[in-house]
Structure 1
Amino acid sequence: MLVLPAPAPLLDRRGTPLLDRRGTALRDPEFLRGVVRRITYVTPHVKRITISGAELCGLPELAPAAKIRLFLPPAAAATPEFPAWTPEGLLWRPGASTAMRSYTVRRHDPGAGELDVDILLHGNGPGSIWAATAGTGARIGFLRPEAGYLVREDVTRHLLIGDESGLPAIAAILEALTPSAAGLAIVETGDRGYRCYPGPGAIRWLDRGAQVTGETLWQYVRDLPVPLTPVQAFVAAEATPTRLIRQHLKNVWGLSALDGSLHAKGYWLAERGARRR
């Protein structure tokens, strides 16, 4: 197994570490390297990147919607840099241009030592820019995949809610449900091109239209009747509607993250005053 040590903490001109507190939840992570093996378009706006690496061999089976943190260099031909890990967060070299982004593991093949991530091509974010320009053989850094959606055996109804960013996770969960489980997915999009995204199960598509991102999704969920039988819910969308839906499912439906009946995560954050896509 090739495990590259993180670099020693570097300081800026004032001698202050460049701290990224998104790493506080990590515990002594292994910084790993892989390469892009295949690239395919699954919709006009979604690119599937197949990553291969020896460290992906022999991993235990992943729960659906498992997350992987990728380290993306600014140019597809560049080598990704890694920060140093501390209990307070990640320490980056001053001027470091590698971006850390989290994506859903869409498929994992431990025998072949590869996994797929689906990246949306929208805006000018580092993930979209990297995916738009990367080719086979491009180098990439990553951490071991993290926990996903744990399907409760005592629940047979699943409500999956999201926008475009949540499509890979929602599709992965639908694929993992047993034949006896019923899954309903509700997805808001601003472009009908996303409707050809491959995956099983029923998806109720909502057109965003001229509405603010997530407003149509929130209104639809708010008007759903409270179920009379146990349900497990998954929410993955822009931060504001995710927060509203989480509060509604908790306060009105009685779901909770503590018992695993509610899994809600804001997948992206719109610019203030511009929550339109």
Structure 2
Amino acid sequence: MLPKVRAPETRRMITLEVRRNARPTPGFATVTLGGPELEHLEPMGFDQAVRLFFPREGQDGLWMPTLSNEAWMAQVLLLPKSRRPWVRNYTIRRTRPELGEIDIEFALHDTGPASAWARDARPGDPAGIFDMGVSYLPPAGAEWQLLAGDESAVPAILAILEHAPASLVADVFLEVASGEDVRTDITAPDGVRVHWLARDGADVRPGTPALEAVRESSPREGRSYTWVAGESGLATGVRRHLVRDRGVPKADIAFYGYWRHGRSSPG
């Protein structure tokens, strides 16, 4: 089953450059991208995702696809690696149209091209985006929500909370690698309970603490909507638990395996 997504009305390849690089916590980097082409981005809020294009190590520039449809992927794959950019999926953490800026927040890992790029990105470095739309689509009849994710989904969930209506009632489970990555200054409606879970060096598969916390939590009354993302075992585990053990309709659960433990992304 393909995930449900609200796509932008129009979209195009957008070439930008790094403006700033900050560390909100030791395990995360916030890279600010900007440029005049951002006028072509339709801000949608919530978990608005983009394909992020950035150069490989040793490349002296960024090659961007010329096609603003799904044929762009074939263009990229046909390039030799000497010219082919890295492409990864990321959520827009914040948008500032008046300044022509967006923030992309990265959960930093020991390995991987995206983490390496985010650590080293400097003002003036090129990057590009292609809008993918929003997957957080709660039905009108949902009385409360369950949001869960590991560090790879923390930026998306924090963006969802910042765009949420004041009436939102939700239980939120956010797993991070270290207690140093717990945020104390998040913006969320009064009806939201946020639970931070830090692995702190424990020998567990990423996503396991969040999955166990959801299993042990007590559901609220009424129809719910669940949005869960992160390591594939977390996403599928939460869905399986809700359907089998709580009788939640599959249609009321959005789940996304952003990555798989022990496997690198292609490209």
For this structure pair, what is the TM-score category when the shorter chain's length is used for normalisation? 0.7 to 0.9
CA separation in 2, counterparts of 1:68 and 1:88?
A: 14
Following superposition, the deviation at residue 58 of structure 1 comes to 5.9
Match of 1:79 among 57, 61, 73: 61
The equivalent position to 2:161 in structure 1, one of 146, 163, 174, is 174
Q: Any residues of structure 2 matched to 1:204-219 within 5 Å, and which?
A: 204-208=195-199, 209-219=202-212
Q: Distance in 1 between matches of 2:58 and 2:127?
A: 9
Q: Distance in 2 between matches of 1:43 and 1:135?
A: 18
Q: For residue 112 of structure 1, what is the aligned residue in structure 2?
A: 99
Residue from 32, 37, 60 that aligns with 1:55 = 37
Tell me the TM-score normalized by structure 1: 0.78
Residue 15 of structure 2 contacts residue 64 of structure 2 at CA under 8 Å; is this kept in 1? no
**1:13-162 → structure 2 map (5 Å cutoff):** 30-57=12-39, 59-75=41-57, 78-83=60-65, 89-91=73-75, 92=77, 93-95=79-81, 96-162=83-149
Gaps in structure 2 of 5+ consecutive residues: 1-6
1:88 Cα shift? Answer: 9.8
Query: What does 1:199-238 align with in structure 2 at a 5 Å threshold?
Result: 199-201=186-188, 202-208=193-199, 209-238=202-231
CA distance in 2, matches of 1:174, 1:54: 28
> Which blocks of at least 5 consecutive residues in structure 1 are unaligned?
1-24
Q: Once the two structures are superposed, what CA deviation does each residue of 1:186-231 show, in whole Å capped at 9, x if it has no partner? A: 1222211110364223421223322222222222222334443111
Which residue number corresponds to residue 7 of structure 1? none
- How far does residue 83 in structure 1 lie from its aligned partner after superposition? 4.8
- Listed one character per residue, the Cα deviations across residues 139-195 of structure 1 (whole Å, up to 9, x for unaligned) are 112112522413434324121101111111111111122222112211222211110
Corresponding pairs, count: 247
Query: Is the partner of 1:170 in helix, strand or coil?
Result: helix
Question: What is the identity, as a one-letter code, of the residue corresponding to 2:53?
Answer: F
The answer to whether the 8 Å contact 2:47/2:91 transfers is: yes
**Cα RMSD over matched residues?**
2.9
TM-aligned CA distance change 1:42 to 1:30, over 3 Å: same
More helix by share: 2
Q: Distance in 2 between matches of 1:60 and 1:30?
A: 10
The amino acid that maps onto 1:105 is I
Please give the alpha-carbon distance, in whole angstroms, between the structure 1 residues aligned to 2:115 and 2:133.
22
**CA distance 1:88–1:30, shift in 2 (3 Å):** closer
TM-score (norm 2): 0.81
Residue deviations 1:96-145 (CA, integer Å, cap 9, x gap): 44210111111112232221110122122111011111111111121125
C-alpha distance after superposition, 1:232-267 (max 9, x if no partner): 111111112211112222344444564xx3221112
